[in-house]
Amino acid sequence: MLGDLIGTLSNYLYTYILVILLIAAGLYFTIRTRFVQFRMVRESIRVVGERPEQEGAVSSFQALMVSTASRVGTGNIVGISTAVCLGGYGAVFWMWLIAIIGGASAFIESTLAQIYKRRNPETGESYGGPSYYIEAALHSRPLAVLFAITLILTYAGGFNMVASYNLQSTFSGYSFYDPATTPWVIGAILAVLVGYCLMGGGKRIMKVTSTLVPFMGGMYVLVALIVVVLHIQLLPQVLGRIFSEAFDFQAIFAGFTGSAMMYGIKRGLFSNEAGVGSAPNAAASAHVSHPAKQGLVQMLSVFIDTLLICSATAFMLLCSGVEPTKGLEGAPYVQAALQNVFGAAGPVFITVAMVLFAFTTLIGNLYYVDNALNYIVGRVPSREFMVLFRINAMIVIFIGAGQSIDLVWNLADVLMGLMALINLPVILILARPALDAMKDYSAQRKAGKNPVFKAKDIGLEGKTEYWQ
């Protein structure tokens, strides 16, 4: 009953509301930024390597790794498998499209997070996110609190349940797997490991993710490339079907809820989170000389996630020689594809990859949650409160492992959709400061300077806390 209700709500959101809002906002920001996601890709790569303005502070790279840890996760493997099994080859194209135009949305929201971020007077560290720019620029604390609540429900609830489920599902092909008990055992182990890491606080999260994410992503892309090279003769056929099935508008309009377009948009948004309002929470923590720098960095994160990691999964699956079917939805298709190429070693590799993806996703998600809790309370919550909250988060991880695939994915999609419904209209209203910051940054770079931001330069004197 509950599963059917959530599924219906998910289909309604992505059929009638979000598909229009996401594409419209992405195109609007693309035009207003003069195609920033294309013009300034090289600059975004350069900025990632910069050292933080303050010794020991969070760097652009570390903030990128936290947001990438959340973006790059089990959804990049199981989510893409689900999209092509249910939506067909064409889902890959719509996943690409939502990432490309979403890059501009990611730039705007993360630049805004930097502009309106705040400074911790005790530690000197910066923090912020959508709740903070909603309150500072729109002067609406109730709306800001509502966004923070939806973020907590999404990341501590829906997304973490998905990650936990996806991880345990990769063990379903092993002989020891018992559907009645194994999911709960794996869920318990995962919950304990994540809880141990989280008790070390944000700094430990930064350290763990900045170490694991590059290794995890690099190995995964390498294996995907090997699969494609071994079946290179199939690549023209795969590319042809991606584009031809993407534009099968008769199929799309005849049944949109099961179309390539809907599944591509759903899984693309779940994967890259552009415009959802999650990445700005990490972006605000970076110590940079100019807000636009972190906007560029988070824009790059969208491309790393979808155009690199998700594309690697898609081509690895579609070039494996195993045809996607509804019966193979999720982890089984991934395992079947790799087993067809590498034999028994294939499923083992994907299991290891899923463990790393799930772990980094879970701790990255809960980093965002900490920031939202801080906003609602108005200060850093007490240690006792955080311990209790993290125990509850561990319980959610445990419960998620034992649920059905439809329930966890639909719940995550609905909660993520609610975040986007708040954040996208907000950044459309507040786009001007981010656009002005981009122009200021470009002008300084053209003059051969390392851009340094001052609020008065874009008419925000006295309206920001950090950049006076």
Reported as a single tens digit per residue, the pLDDT across 175-191 is: 888 999 999 999 999 89
pLDDT of 254 higher than 50 = no
Structure tokens at 90: 């064409």
More confidently predicted of 4 and 216: 4
Give the relative orientation of helices 383-400 and 182-198 as an angle to the nearest 10 degrees.
160
Domains of the chain, first to last: 2-431 (1.20.1740.10)
- What are the pLDDT digits (tens) for 310-366? 888 889 999 988 888 888 888 788 888 888 888 888 888 888 878 877 877 787 777
pLDDT of 208 higher than 70 = no
Burial class, 426, CB count within 10 angstroms (exposed 0-12 / middle 13-18 / buried 19+): buried
CB 49 within 8 A of CB 284: no
> Can you give the pTM of this predicted structure?
0.84
pLDDT of 405 higher than 60 = yes
- Of 379, 342, 390, 339, nearest to 155 by C-alpha is 390
More confidently predicted of 13 and 60: 13
Burial class, 124, CB count within 10 angstroms (exposed 0-12 / middle 13-18 / buried 19+): exposed
Partners of 127 in beta bridges: 118
More confidently predicted of 307 and 296: 296
**Cα–Cα distance for residue pair 84/295, rounded to 1 Å:** 31
Mean pLDDT over 103-127 rounds to 87
- Of 67, 74, 12, nearest to 405 by C-alpha is 74
Count of other CB atoms within 10 angstroms of residue 6: 21
Helix then strand then coil, in percent of the chain rounded to 5, is 75, 0, 20
Count of other CB atoms within 10 angstroms of residue 123: 10
pLDDT of 255 higher than 50 = no
- What are the pLDDT digits (tens) for 134-155? 999 999 999 999 999 999 999 8
Burial class, 125, CB count within 10 angstroms (exposed 0-12 / middle 13-18 / buried 19+): middle
